[in-house]
Amino acid sequence: MKRILALCLALLLLLPAALAEQPDGAPGGEEVVIVTSEGRELRYGDKGEDVRLLQTRLKDLYYYKGPVSGNYLEVTRKAVRAVQEAYGLEATGVADLKLQELVYGDAHRPLQKGASGKDVSRLQTRLSELGYYWGKISGDYLDGTTAAVGKFQQDNGLQKTGKADVATLTKLYSDDIVSPSPDPLISPKPLPTPPPDAAFKGVVSYGAKNDQVKLVQERLAALGFFDRKVTGGFYEHTSKAVKDFQKLNGLVPDGVIGEQTWQALFGLDVVRAGGVPKPSPAPTPIPYFIEVDVNNQLIKVYGLDEKGEHTRLEKVFTASTGTANYPSEVGTYTLTGRKARWAEFPNWGGGKARWWVRINADIAFHSILYRTNNLNDVNMSSVKRLGSRASHGCIRLTVADAKWIYDNVGAGTQVRIHEDAPLDPELKAANKPGSFNTRTYVHDATPAPTQEPAYDGSRPPAGETRTLKAGAQGEGVYWLQRKLKELGYYTGTVTGTFLDGTKEAVRAFQRDHKLKVNGTADVKTLEYLYQLVAQTTTPAPTPMPTDPPVAGDPAQEPAPPTEVYTVDGSGN
């Protein structure tokens, strides 16, 4: 591996739910990923933007109380030691890459009675969602929070201390938890009849704020999944309640109210909180397989065929993969589903990108680069180099193509990165994105490929034989590429455009048949090819019809039966 070391670290910035993504593209309530590829170990005396970033994150976690100066001095070292002690690591005060990965992940600070802050509010909110805490979300760790933490610890096999240490917090925010059992002596309230306007009117998802959300919250509350104030805003608590409802009712727990979830929510056979779960849905086949073709700088998306195999080429995107010094590491990876609307790259000049989808710890799919979160502030160098090796390992795409992957490719999808594909200039040219529009600051739509004409390899194409050379297009080129492919000379994609791949195939054909080797399908070369086709596809002669037998013709009369004689000559 040519890289010195690369880390792709994710920092989840939990902004207030009310700050949904703004129309101008500035990040709001969605995830923002901080990518620190080629990170360095940080220690006392270091300076720089990476130190400033570390201090900012430590401040968010309440470990660091000094100024964000970019200078790694004693207060920073003390904060790093506190993290190491909280996580049971050697307290060296050095922020090595393992420590940075921990800090930029879902890190926690130990909490106990007397603590206060946003992380205490988050703790209380989580305990409230799980049914352990019923007090006010105050951000102050007092007796009620202590008791709730102790009960959670008791139910989940942890030492009951009432102190939210790192082990308790890690367990609390995981999916592998035990919730308090409902009281069997309490009879459930009768389920109210759905209101007459409870008709599905479209998908309802995170960030929405309307009457449909209010209707969902009221129904979830009646079913025992939602215990918050009905606001009509679809944010963290509503998303959690929807997922819990989906799990219990045999639906895919994606937190989105599609038509299937809506019908189940307002159906007569709905399972309320604490009820007997419905069977889990059958696993859905992974719809796509993605190939990252480094040699051609293309992304190939394969869909399922009739046999359920990923053989149907559905989309081809132009990309920029890693350079020779920072290559996109070859191999096959399985996506975890980790994605974010924005990614930031502080170690590479503070650049940013949209529609980030993680491939592995080092690399991801994402859009062309931006200098800031302003959608008009595009880094034109990343635009101009699209289609060539230009990144530090990630896979850059147009904004539209990156968003397609963000929207359509999920957990479980396999991605194969390889450098052994033959060059295919015809395929690359056929899928070149539209021009970059300096008014909209995105690429125009990629032109749709020309429909391939009908092909009959047993006869030359109709019309006058004319020379075909580099740049030529049309049915004649389609026929030539298809025939040369059948003969084993052309290995590229049949597009109807004569480029370098076709030229090399023509040269090889000319060389094998003692023709002038110039890579141009001139009249002599084409006539030789057409003659070859005629010779190899001459149909067998049609057999002549057999004359009917003529009466009295000995040649047509059946032979008399052969007499069989016994030993005594009697003929019996």
Q: What is the pLDDT of residues 499-535, one digit of tens each?
A: 999 999 999 999 999 999 999 999 999 999 999 988 8
Is the pLDDT at 30 greater than 80? The verdict is no
The DSSP code sequence of 357-389 is: EE-SSS-EEEESEESSS-TT-B-HHHHHTTTSS
Least confident of 172-176, 182-186, 288-292: 182-186
Per-residue pLDDT band for 99 (boundaries 50, 70, 90) equals confident
CA distance 6 to 97: 9
Q: What is the pLDDT of residues 262-274, one digit of tens each?
A: 999 988 788 888 8
Determine how many CB atoms are found less than 10 A away from the CB of residue 393: 24
Per-residue pLDDT band for 565 (boundaries 50, 70, 90) equals very low
pLDDT score at 402: 96
CB 361 within 8 A of CB 36: no
CA angle at 226 for the pair 222 and 232, rounded to the nearest 5° = 95
**Mean of pLDDT values over 421-436:** 93
Q: 279-289 burial, b for 16+ CB within 10 Å, e for fewer?
A: eeeeeeebbbb
Does domain 475-535 fall under CATH 1.10.620.20? My reply is no
62: left (phi > 0), else alpha (psi -120 to 50), else beta? Answer: left
What is the crossing angle of helices 97-104 and 74-86, to 10°?
Answer: 80
Which tokens hold the place of 129?
């969602």
Per-residue pLDDT band for 420 (boundaries 50, 70, 90) equals very high
Which tokens hold the place of 287?
């719809």
Q: Residue 86 gets which letter from DSSP?
A: H
Length of the chain: 572
pLDDT score at 245: 94
Is the pLDDT at 10 greater than 50? The verdict is no
The DSSP code sequence of 96-121 is: -HHHHHHHHSS----B-TT-BSHHHH
Q: Would the pTM count as exceeding 0.75?
A: no
pLDDT score at 3: 41
CA distance 495 to 488: 17
CA angle at 469 for the pair 467 and 475, rounded to the nearest 5° = 70
Tell me whether domains 289-443 and 475-535 share a fold.
Answer: no
For the domain bounded by 42-95, which CATH number is listed? 1.10.101.10
pLDDT score at 338: 85
Per-residue pLDDT band for 275 (boundaries 50, 70, 90) equals confident
**Mean of pLDDT values over 440-467:** 86
CB 395 within 8 A of CB 364: yes
For the domain bounded by 289-443, which CATH number is listed? 2.40.440.10
CB 419 within 8 A of CB 295: yes
CA angle at 132 for the pair 131 and 135, rounded to the nearest 5° = 100
Per-residue pLDDT band for 370 (boundaries 50, 70, 90) equals very high
Per-residue pLDDT band for 225 (boundaries 50, 70, 90) equals very high
Q: Residue 48 gets which letter from DSSP?
A: S
Determine how many CB atoms are found less than 10 A away from the CB of residue 482: 18
Per-residue pLDDT band for 27 (boundaries 50, 70, 90) equals very low
Instruction: Output helix, strand, coil percentages for the chain, rounded to the nearest 5.
Output: 30, 15, 60
Fold for domain 118-172?
A: Muramoyl-pentapeptide Carboxypeptidase; domain 1 (1.10.101)
Of residues 261 and 35, more confidently modeled: 261
Q: What are the sequence ranges of the domains in the chain?
A: 42-95, 118-172, 289-443, 475-535
Determine whether 323 is exposed, middle or buried from the number of CB atoms within 10 Å of its CB (0-12, 13-18, 19+): middle
Least confident of 69-78, 215-224, 531-540: 531-540
Is the pLDDT at 17 greater than 80? The verdict is no
CA distance 44 to 81: 12
Q: What is the pLDDT of residues 235-260, one digit of tens each?
A: 888 989 999 999 999 898 888 899 89
Is the pLDDT at 396 greater than 60? The verdict is yes
The torsion angle over the Cα atoms of residues 44, 49, 55 and 58, rounded to 10 degrees, is: -120
CA distance 261 to 315: 30
**Mean of pLDDT values over 191-220:** 81
CA angle at 296 for the pair 292 and 300, rounded to the nearest 5° = 40
Q: What is the pLDDT of residues 115-156, one digit of tens each?
A: 998 889 989 988 887 778 888 889 999 999 999 999 999 988
**Mean of pLDDT values over 563-571:** 37
Least confident of 155-159, 403-407, 466-470, 563-567: 563-567
Q: What is the pLDDT of residues 549-558, one digit of tens each?
A: 555 544 444 4
CB 38 within 8 A of CB 91: no
CB 292 within 8 A of CB 416: yes
CA distance 262 to 32: 30
